[in-house]
């Protein structure tokens, strides 16, 4: 039996790089963490990390914050910008050339990245200013729009989903 055919061998090794700008080789001073919109230094740092990860046997990387962090705009398509898309596609290509799949985090299902959208439609808000109410159909439509945007704009290999980053909805309606 070869190592590749060993059923007890890990088939996937995930590198959890999380926020794109956390992978830089030099610090970035910001007040509104996590900062989005990777720059060329971020891309360079991520590619160096991909080299090490590939050499170490990793075959999946989880990177977030490509297009938006807290603030998906009400017009989600407005985050489509040639420069970030160029960088994102550069990173995806580099990962794929190294045999690494990329998962991203477009939102926290109901609670990460939707602050501006929630402000535009307060009826979607739960008891937490960062959370959409999961009992509202409009909340699910907004979450799906963010996923569709990602799928339509790059060849991502999967999604990282978080449902409780800012806590669950604890309103009487949700508790019921």
CATH for 40: 3.20.20.70
Q: Which of 76, 103, 173 is nearest to 132 (CA)?
A: 173
Distance of CA 134 to the CA centre of its chain: 20
* Residue 6 belongs to a domain: no
* Residue 2 belongs to a domain: no
Instruction: Identify the domain containing residue 139 by its residue range.
Output: 13-165
Please indicate, yes or no, whether the overall pTM of this predicted structure exceeds 0.85.
Answer: no
Q: Which of 87, 96, 22, 9 is nearest to 53 (CA)?
A: 96
pLDDT band of 110, cuts 50, 70, 90: confident
* Residue 175 belongs to a domain: no
pLDDT at 98 over 80: yes
* Residue 107 belongs to a domain: yes
Round to the nearest angstrom and report the end-to-end CA distance of the chain. Answer: 53
pLDDT in tens, 11-24: 888 888 777 777 77
Report the SS3 class of residue 53.
helix
Q: How many domains does the chain have?
A: 1
62 phi/psi in degrees, rounded to 5: -115, 110
Of the ranges 2-16, 33-47, 149-163, the best mean pLDDT one = 149-163
pLDDT at 1 over 60: no
Contact status, residue 63 vs residue 102, Cβ threshold 8 Å: yes
């Amino acid at each position: 039996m070869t190592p590749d055919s060993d059923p007890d061998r890990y088939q996937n090794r995930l590198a959890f790089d999380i926020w794109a700008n956390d992978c830089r080789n030099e610090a970035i001073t910001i007040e509104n963490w996590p900062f989005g919109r990777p720059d060329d230094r971020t891309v360079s740092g991520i590619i160096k990390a991909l080299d090490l990860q590939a050499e170490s046997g990793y075959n999946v990387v989880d990177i977030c914050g490509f297009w938006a962090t807290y603030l998906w705009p009400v017009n989600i398509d407005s985050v489509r910008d040639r420069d970030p898309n160029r960088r994102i596609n550069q990173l995806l290509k580099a990962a794929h050339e190294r045999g690494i799949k990329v998962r991203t985090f477009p939102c926290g299902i109901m609670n990460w990245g939707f602050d501006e959208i929630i402000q535009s439609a307060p009826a979607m808000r739960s008891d937490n200013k960062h959370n959409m109410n999961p009992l509202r159909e409009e909340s699910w439509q907004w979450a799906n729009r963010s996923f569709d945007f990602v799928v339509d704009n790059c060849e991502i290999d999967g999604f990282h989903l978080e449902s409780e980053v800012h806590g669950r909805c604890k309103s009487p309606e949700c508790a019921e």
